[in-house]
DNA sequence: TAGATTGTTAATCGATTAACAATC
DNA sequence: TAGATTGTTAATCGATTAACAATC
């Protein structure tokens, strides 16, 4: 066991292990090996053991890892023993697609509100989630105890909204825009940018990197 | 200049530089420094220079990088001189949110078809994109020259659909599901998993890593 | 006991950062 | 010329891989 700072890549892999462990647990499987975890999540057995060993010793030599115990350990490590309260900013196509998303709730993230600037969209409720006017963002975030925001607006207002979210007390932002936001210290940010990923695919395809094809 | 294999992180940053350069170009700015590119995309000036130097020398010492020339270089490097033909598999909430997405077309990715298993959703057209029956996936991909697929279906059918997409000749898949897909060699894969990112935020928040707060 | 598999250390690899001569 | 900023090399840092003794 080790107390270095845990890397992003490690945390990302832990999510993958957790997802598979939940599945195994539902299937009633008692034990799993680092090899199986690795194969199923796209990494190596050594990497799995290394990742887990940064937090403690959870396996049994010769046998493997107990499924439910390891699942619970990962749930604790990732901070998922509690339900997080999430809002979606922007109730356009993408934003409203995320409302009432069952799987998110099951995995610990409950979307409790959406915010929208267009008065035509404000007021109704999408799959049980109220769509509120963005002017009331600060008040509602406070009243509803929102901790994490999903930013699904056009690029233009993204930066300013990130500031407002930070000031309103949100501690994490998942940024779906292509704009770099800077909500300041104390607010964690993750980016999901479709264009970046598609451009990455484009690069890989044209260079033939994954195809084993000849170079340029 | 260098001919090592370019890392994922580098390619991701190139996307960021390109996005900002397009903006500067639209604004008529002639030159930009590595420092400004770095500040605007969340990296360091040294990193920007290092990234670009892997492909050649595009700047002028003492002056900076010519905006439009560098933009065009990045467009070429990333394989964006052509328009990519993209399909969306799964016309549910998320899938249909991606149809007719203007910004994607502007950045080189044209969604030309969607595939859906639910007969109730098949047949209509969403913002100009035809929603086709998934049984015709192979034929339509071939006929329409689709090269990249965005996989926006539930976890259960993801793996099998990835196989079919690969067999149908797709060379890149953007996987929005939480399932590990394995379309085989010759097909590039990128993952966008909301749950993974939210769990990453959760981890960062509970450990206080970005807040500079005290440890656990 | 024999076989399996962990936890951990050491070796390797790659990416980032720092520094600075070159030069606009 | 003086100031700015690149391109590149060397130094540092961190992550991944390999190997294996411990032990179930």
Residue A215 pLDDT more than 80? no
Stated as kind and residue range, the H or E segment containing B160 is helix B155-167
Smallest CA–CA distance from B191 into chain A, residue: A197
Pairing mode of beta strands B31-32, B129-133: unpaired
Per-residue pLDDT band for B176 (boundaries 50, 70, 90) equals: very high
Given the structure tokens 């002639």, which residue do they identify? Answer: B30
Residue B209 pLDDT more than 70? no
Q: Provide the CA A3 to C1' D14 distance, Å, integer.
A: 14
Interface with A, mutate which of B5, B55, B199, B210 (most A CBs under 10 A): B199
Instruction: Tell me how far CA of residue A172 lies from CA of A24, A162, A203, in angstroms.
Output: 30, 10, 31
Residue B62 pLDDT more than 90? yes
Q: What is the pLDDT of residue B39?
A: 97
Terminal CA-CA length for chain A: 45
Inspect the interface and report whether the beta carbons of B204 and A188 lie closer than 8 Å. yes
Per-residue pLDDT band for B211 (boundaries 50, 70, 90) equals: very low
CB atoms within 10 A of CB B5: 9
Q: Provide the CA A46 to C1' D20 distance, Å, integer.
A: 13
Q: Which residues contact A124 (CB under 8 A, 6 or more apart)?
A: A131
Q: How far apart are CA A93 and CA B95, in angstroms?
A: 10
Q: Return the HEC string of chain A.
A: CCCCCCCHHHHHHHHHHHHHHHHHHHHCCCEECHHHHHHHHCCCHHHHHHHHHCCCCCCECCCEEEHHHHHHHHHHHCCCCCCEEEEEECCCHHHHHCCCCHHHHHCCEEEEEEEECCCCCCCCEECCEEEEEHHHHHHHHHHHCCCEEEECCCHHHHHHHHHHHHHCCCCEEEECCCCCCCCCCCCEEEECCHHHHHHHHHHHHHHCCCCCCCCC
Q: Which residues contact B143 (CB under 8 A, 6 or more apart)?
A: none
Interface with B, mutate which of A18, A181, A202, A205 (most B CBs under 10 A): A202
Task: For B89-111, write each residue's pLDDT tens digit.
Answer: 999 999 999 997 888 999 999 99
Please check whether residue A152 is in contact with residue A160, taking contact to mean a CB–CB distance below 8 angstroms: no
3 state DSSP class of B76: helix
Say whether residue A31 is in contact with chain B using an 8 A CB cutoff: no
Task: For A50-98, write each residue's pLDDT tens digit.
Answer: 999 999 999 999 999 999 999 999 999 999 999 999 999 999 999 999 9
Terminal CA-CA length for chain B: 45
CATH 3.40.50.720 fits A84-196, yes or no: yes
Please check whether residue B31 is in contact with residue B66, taking contact to mean a CB–CB distance below 8 angstroms: yes
Say whether residue A122 is in contact with chain B using an 8 A CB cutoff: no
Q: Which residues contact B157 (CB under 8 A, 6 or more apart)?
A: B117
Distance from CA of B204 to the nearest CA of A (A): 7
Torsion of CA B64, B69, B74, B80, to 10 degrees: 160
Torsion of CA B46, B52, B54, B58, to 10 degrees: -120
CATH architecture group of domain A8-77: Orthogonal Bundle (1.10)
Per-residue pLDDT band for B86 (boundaries 50, 70, 90) equals: very high
Stated as kind and residue range, the H or E segment containing B201 is helix B194-207
Distance from CA of B138 to the nearest CA of A (A): 20
Q: What is the pLDDT of residue B100?
A: 79
Q: What is the pLDDT of residue A3?
A: 63
Residues paired with A189 in a beta bridge: A173
Q: Nearest CA to A73 among A63, A81, A84? A: A81
Written as six digits, the tokens of A105 are 């709730």
Q: Nearest CA to B146 among B127, B122, B168? A: B168
Could you tell me the pTM of the whole model? 0.94
Q: How far apart are CA B100 and CA A133, in angstroms?
A: 26
- Tell me the chain B residues in contact with residue A77 when contact means C-beta distances shorter than 8 Å: 203
Inspect the interface and report whether the beta carbons of A78 and B202 lie closer than 8 Å. yes
Per-residue pLDDT band for A213 (boundaries 50, 70, 90) equals: very low
Given the structure tokens 């403690």, which residue do they identify? Answer: A56
Delimit the domains of chain B by residue range.
Answer: 8-77, 84-196
């Amino acid at each position: 066991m080790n107390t270095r700072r845990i890397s992003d890549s490690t945390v990302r892999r832990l999510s993958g292990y957790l997802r598979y462990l939940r599945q195994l647990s539902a299937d009633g499987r008692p034990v799993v090996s680092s090899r199986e975890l690795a194969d199923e999540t796209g990494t190596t057995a050594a990497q799995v053991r290394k990742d887990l060993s940064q937090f403690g010793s959870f396996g049994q030599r010769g046998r493997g890892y107990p499924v439910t115990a390891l699942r619970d350990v990962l749930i604790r490590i990732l901070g998922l023993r509690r339900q997080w309260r999430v809002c979606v900013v922007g109730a356009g196509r993408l934003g409203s697609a995320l409302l009432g998303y069952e799987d998110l709730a099951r995995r610990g993230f409950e979307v409790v509100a959406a915010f929208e600037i267009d008065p035509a969209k404000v007021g109704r409720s999408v799959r049980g989630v109220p769509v509120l006017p963005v002017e009331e963002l600060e008040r509602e975030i406070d009243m509803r105890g929102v901790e994490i925001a999903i930013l699904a607006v056009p690029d233009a207002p993204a930066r300013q909204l990130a500031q407002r979210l930070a000031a309103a007390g949100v501690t994490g932002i998942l940024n779906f825009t292509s704009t770099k936001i800077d909500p300041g210290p104390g607010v964690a940010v993750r980016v999901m940018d479709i264009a970046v990923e598609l451009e990455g695919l484009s690069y890989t395809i044209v260079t033939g990197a994954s195809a084993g094809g000849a170079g340029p």
